[in-house]
Amino acid sequence: MQIWMWILILLIIGQRIIELVIAKNNEKWMKARGGIEAGSEHYKWFIYLHLLFFISLFLETIAKLDNQEISFNYIYFLVFFAAQLARIWCISSLGRFWNTKIIVLPRVSLIRKGPYKYVKHPNYIIVAVELFVIPMLFGAYITAIVFPILHILLLRIRIPAEEKALASLSKL
């Protein structure tokens, strides 16, 4: 792999690890205040999806590099960079309530600031964009097609579970 590829992939993996740490800290904070987790039965599938995404990206990129060199695509990188800014906006808008799991805190109203003022689930849109644009940066076209589709299929389970959990807030 070319050096820019290694740097980018390590930055992305590092970012994901930092996000998992933030999510775990937020989970502890919310549960200590009575937070209730919902949809835990499907959460593992998101973990599998993201692990397989990186494995697929790596394997497809390595296979492609045997035949050709991949040039840096500035358009895809700008889309990726914009997605990262939007991700930071989502995380900072939700603050301690941001998580990779569905956790609701009774007696706390929905946060409707930042991107959540405009879109119900902006983070899921950002992840779908990333699952397409990151592989495109690496010339991993199969990964760019397969993983956004798998993500959308999982969201057909996740979003209703999240909506149900958030609706229960008004009853708590």
Q: What is the pLDDT of residues 115-172, one digit of tens each?
A: 999 999 999 999 999 999 999 999 999 999 999 999 999 999 999 999 999 888 756 5
Q: Rounded CA gap, 49 and 125, in Å? A: 16
Average pLDDT over residues 14-34: 96
**Residue 72 lies in domain:** 3-171
pLDDT of residue 110: 86
As for how many domains the chain has, the answer is 1
Average pLDDT over residues 20-47: 95
In single-letter form, the type of residue at position 85 comes to: L
Q: What's 141's domain CATH number?
A: 1.20.120.1630
CB-CB contact of 139 with 61 (8 Å): yes
pLDDT of residue 6: 87
Read off the pLDDT band of 20 (50, 70, 90): very high
- Nearest Cα neighbor of 97 from 158, 169, 156, 43 is 169
pLDDT of residue 21: 97
pLDDT of residue 67: 65
pLDDT of residue 172: 52
CB burial readout 127-148, b (16+ within 10 A) else e: bbbbbbbbbbbbbbeebbebbb
Top pLDDT among 29 and 63 is at 29
pLDDT of residue 2: 79
Q: Rounded CA gap, 67 and 83, in Å? A: 30
Asked whether residue 82 carries a pLDDT value surpassing 60, the answer given is yes
pLDDT of residue 69: 76
Q: Rounded CA gap, 101 and 39, in Å? A: 8
**Which whole-number Å values give the CA distances from 127 to 19, 102, 155, in the listed order?**
13, 16, 11
pLDDT of residue 18: 96
pLDDT of residue 171: 60
